[in-house]
Amino acid sequence: MKKSPCLPVAGNVDTEAQCLYRYVYGADDIFNLHSHTFYEIFITTSGTVTHLINGITQKLPEGALVFIRPNDVHGYLYDTPESTDTAYVNLTFTYETAEQLFAYLSETFPSQELLFCDMPPTVILNKVEKKRLLNLVSELNAVNWQDKNALKLRMRSLLCEIFVRFFYNVPEHAQSDMPVWFSQLLSDMEHPDNFLKGPQRMIELSQRTREHLSRCIKKYLGMSATEYINELKINYASNLLLRTNTPILSICFDCGFQNASYFNKRFKKKYGISPREFRKTYK
């Protein structure tokens, strides 16, 4: 079998700025299978692209944000009418940039999990997130292209924003066989506006049937949808207990529980003590 080429830093990364960004439009820029001697992040800005990655074929929709590591082997197929209209933004950066960035974020950031999980960390941005991120990228166009230090600083600031905002929780959902849509659903459900609305909101976001979603939750999380939602609610409640002076009964209702008795039961199951004892002990 023919070995996939490995793209070098030269020609793919600005060696002075230690980074490069560019806009790619559809089939005019086709890449066959390859690996890198640098890191890459790409964001699909329109259309749908078939992404070949580490022996697996993925359909990436508009708004896909993907972190490619040097050992990943990937390429793109423009095999459908809609894929020929695909556009994406490509960010490349050196080993040194990645090492310094992860060192700055320290051990609290799951850099090792991101670097060594089987599949490249992937997030599907909603329309608001996509627009905000593309606006940040577009601001790079205002930087004097000859001022390499300015470009280096602005690019590192952008990368820090991307990793902290979008990739912090990805390792928790990074099982190699977990569908991209399900991984993204778990990230979306961590927003209070979603989990406080309960399992029905999870079904709506997934765009799958209740039965299909239930099977996936059981397979990948080992629990029911209700148990998963309650886990998020209790996490939310524990932080409100620690960081606010809101009365416990109000926290109970704010977290979507209908009565204090059930709230106390779920809370004690997780922490072994009541909400009142928890606040007294840890605040």
Mean pLDDT of 266-272: 90
Whole-angstrom distance, CA of residue 94 vs CA of residue 15: 8
Whole-angstrom distance, CA of residue 234 vs CA of residue 238: 6
Residue 3: pLDDT above 80?
A: no
Instruction: Give tens-digit pLDDT for 42-65.
Output: 999 988 888 899 998 888 888 899
Whole-angstrom distance, CA of residue 33 vs CA of residue 53: 8
Instruction: Give tens-digit pLDDT for 159-199.
Output: 999 999 889 876 555 555 677 788 778 878 888 889 999 99
A 10 A CB-CB count for 34 gives: 13
Give a three-class secondary structure readout of 36-56: ECCEEEEEEEECCEEEEECCE
Tell me if 269 sits within 8 A of 237, measured CB to CB.
Answer: no
Mean pLDDT of 14-33: 82
Confidence at residue 168, expressed as pLDDT on a 0 to 100 scale: 86
Residue 30: pLDDT above 60?
A: no
Whole-angstrom distance, CA of residue 250 vs CA of residue 229: 19
Whole-angstrom distance, CA of residue 225 vs CA of residue 232: 11
What the block records as the tokens of 214 is 């239930």
